Copies of this chain bind each other. A is one copy, B any other.
């Protein structure tokens, strides 16, 4: 079935209906589709948790197909964290199933007034049901209950207690290929938006769904798909990812000349305990304990997800990522890996963005709420979030909220969103992306890790990478495929029987970026919001060849979108 339908669910009235996507959305998917629909259908000044706000769940243009990793899903919404447009992108088993059922978008509006609801979607349609029995439950229990034995045809998207509490760092957890809630639409508070709608769980079962039709060129599409997989598998970057996951970079970025291992609330860029939380150490432990590398969805051939067991061989967490390790580890001076893995599991279970929480706890440590390196204290804060205590709600609302609550003016955030690990004072291109992405501080919005490049080059690279990432998130594949615009053009052409080239892909990406920027403008953002916090310009990191600050001038940052 061609995934061209939009499923609309109104939580206030309980009304559900399906429509064929209008022609203008035909060649938009994932992030770009969500951005355009958010702009088209909602008032940018609405309160993100109001019943007038909407949650868009969109699959990529390649969703449901055999292209590796193409089942990624976008959750798009006005962010309670940033107040602007937000896309939280997630792997897991959800996207392919939605696509196979013929949906390119699910739009949730309104708010259930009489308690928690669940939304079941299958080949017979969609139904809202009472979810009183699910209320208060955390993600591990939920996914076991909702997916369990039906793992081969079913996937869930759930909120944990953090989402029920409508917290700014609340995620939506998506079932991983082993049935666990380890894939998270994490950034910007999608869980809070889902919680405000009274929706506890979305369960999608694609039993009996027909294969996604790929049109006259389906043989060419399949051939390209096989070829693409081969290229991905031969890429040395894939090789590294499949061995040590994203955690493999820890030792590299911890070096004196890079200092991109955030330490002590981003005061330093190297941490003496980094070896203990490195991908190499985790792989070593994994060998002894039955750890393994997993795909984030069926059909992914990269398998970068670290499954981490404890010393007894019991599962602790999956998708033990570099960002989680850096923000919950070195940034808080917590290690070694066993301790950080437990924090990661807690975040998955409660439904929390590890990046946002790592920053939020860092600021809380700065404010003296708990000492640096306090693992027990950090676990305590996470449990407070689960319980919804006042302190838990403070931390669970993210970096800026913690800073505001405790009167801290040194805040590691852009557009209200906590900073990822990549250090903008040494990897200045990352600072350009953090500043100018409509998504706020987001490393997946456009990785630019070149060092020693001119400002002009960094500006151009950031713009290009931001467009490419928009394209990747819109066709719906994983950034680690390193898909080029030409790859995407070929797939889209064969999939939809059109003739796209690189330029068409980048044009679609630009439409997505423009939609996001326009939404932010309407929401009240201006050029001064496209900036890093001023202390990145003042506080230097001590690199071997001299102190380094972020020094890209505001006028140059404005060139990212004004010149290109």
Contacts and interface: CB of A to CB of B under 8 A. Distances in A.
B528 A526 contact: no
A432 B524 CA distance: 20
Nearest to A394: B390
A6 interface: no
Nearest to A167: B407
10 contacts: A47-B411, A50-B534, A80-B404, A390-B391, A390-B394, A391-B391, A393-B405, A401-B401, A401-B404, A526-B526
Contacts of A405: 390, 393-394, 397, 401, 405
A50 B409 contact: yes
Interface string A379-398: 00000000001110110010
Interface in A386-436: 389-391, 393-394, 397, 401, 404-409, 411
Contacts of A47: 409, 411, 534
B407 A192 contact: yes
B529 A407 contact: no
Given A393-B394, A528-B524, A407 B50 contact: no
A168 interface: yes
Q: Interface range on chain A: under 10, 10 to 19, 20 to 34, or 35 or more?
A: 35 or more
Of A49, A196, A529, A531, the most chain B CB neighbours within 10 A belong to A49
Nearest to A165: B407
A166 interface: yes
A48 to B, nearest CB: 8
A68 to B, nearest CB: 38
Interface in A121-177: 165-168
Interface in A493-543: 522, 524-526, 528-529, 531, 534
A49 B397 contact: no
A195 interface: yes
A45 interface: yes
* 5 nearest A-B residue pairs (beta carbon): A166-B407, A390-B391, A47-B409, A49-B409, A50-B409
Interface in A344-399: 389-391, 393-394, 397
A289 B45 CA distance: 51
Interface in A32-52: 45-50, 52
Interface in A206-260: none
Contacts of A52: 534
A283 B522 CA distance: 51
A45 B528 contact: yes
A405 B400 CA distance: 12
A408 B167 CA distance: 10
A16 to B, nearest CB: 24
Given A50-B534, A167-B407, A524-B528, 19 more contacts: A45-B528, A45-B534, A46-B534, A47-B409, A47-B534, A49-B409, A80-B407, A166-B406, A166-B407, A195-B407, A196-B409, A390-B390, A393-B405, A394-B405, A401-B401, A401-B405, A524-B525, A524-B526, A526-B526
Contacts of A534: 45-47, 50, 52
Contacts of A531: 45
A204 B167 CA distance: 46
A232 B264 CA distance: 61
Contacts of A528: 45, 522, 524
Contacts of A522: 528
Contact of A404 (B168, B390, B411, B525): B168
A391 B384 CA distance: 13
A195 B196 CA distance: 36
Contacts of A46: 534
Contacts of A167: 407
Nearest to A51: B409
A168 B47 CA distance: 21
Nearest to A528: B45
Of A45, A47, A408, the most chain B CB neighbours within 10 A belong to A47
A189 to B, nearest CB: 10
Contacts of A389: 390
Contacts of A397: 404-405
A534 B51 CA distance: 12
A174 to B, nearest CB: 22
Interface string A39-78: 0000001111110100000000000000000000000000
